[in-house]
Amino acid sequence: MNGPQLLRDSADRLQTRAGKAFVGTRAVFLGRDLHADLRHADWVDLYMLSITGRRFGESELRLLHAMWVCTSYPDARLWNNRVAALAGSARSTPGLGVSAALGMSEAVVYGGHPCVRAIDFLTGAQRRVTAGEALVDVVAQELAQRRIYGYGRPIHATDERLPWLLGIARERGLDGGPHLALAHEVERLLVERDPALKMNYAAMTAALAADLGLSVTEFHHFQLPMLLAGMTPCYIEAAERPAGTLFPLSCEHIAYEGVAKRRWGCEGS
């Protein structure tokens, strides 16, 4: 049903399964009493419940925590952290600065977009391999259409985060899933083509998340705050310094190729 009737049916009411705040009494969170049933929940436990509607075990939550921790880089030179830092330098608010930085985190070449594309490829490839296709053919077909996200990294091919995250997965007995095994095999096939195409953080986190049962959409929501912890120190440090002094750019550093210098004013004045 579309049109006015759809709007009339939705007027003056909210149909929801997310929850409800009974102000002064209680709050319901996906069918559970937020205070009575969930007050002892770990924050990531609550966040994953909000995304998936299910609870995760202690080892699974520890691995999900590690995915966030291992990539929390407080380096203001990074594209999204720079936005947060510039907001602090401009005396904007933490909410505006960090929100803008989180929005920038969904970059196409690196950041959120590669994570989503990586899990989409890995889950699809796993289904096709399970159905009997050869992985080498799946990889070749994907490369004929687009790049395979999660492999290759700007600046340096080696991703220093992977051994630490994989170590935690091993400690927790979560390193034996089919998507992670497939991700390593994809890396082997890609490195045969180009040694720079080693696995990066997007592919590893996507594979581990897929082995925890996360869908593409669920992983997209999970990875949104993945870089958040590195942004706040950049904002705070920039805000503590004199305003406007973060990454100042002198005129000498601008490669200007426009109109040459010219005199202003009327001729002969």
**pLDDT beyond 80 at 32:** yes
Instruction: Report yes or no: 92 and 243 within 8 Å, Cβ to Cβ.
Output: no
Distance CA 216, CA 12 (A): 33
Supply the pTM of this predicted model.
0.89
* Number of domains the chain contains: 2
Same domain, 145 and 49: no
**pLDDT beyond 60 at 228:** yes
Output the pLDDT for position 7: 85
Return the exposure string of 176-200: e unless at least 16 CB atoms fall within 10 Å of the residue's CB, then b: ebebbebbeebbebbbeeeeebbbb
The answer to whether residue 131 is domain-embedded is yes
Instruction: Report yes or no: 27 and 34 within 8 Å, Cβ to Cβ.
Output: yes
Same domain, 120 and 219: yes
For 33-42, 120-129, 145-154, 250-259, which range has the lowest pLDDT when averaged over its residues? Answer: 250-259
Query: 37, 55, 73: which is the final residue of a domain?
Result: 55
For 181-192, how does the pLDDT look when each residue is reduced to its tens digit (9 = 90+)?
A: 999 999 999 999
Residue 127, domain CATH:
1.10.230.10
The answer to whether residue 123 is domain-embedded is yes
The answer to whether residue 43 is domain-embedded is yes
Domain that holds residue 117: 112-223
Output the pLDDT for position 266: 64
Same domain, 142 and 213: yes
The answer to whether residue 124 is domain-embedded is yes
For 12-16, 99-103, 192-196, 229-233, which range has the lowest pLDDT when averaged over its residues? Answer: 12-16
The answer to whether residue 194 is domain-embedded is yes
SS3 172: coil
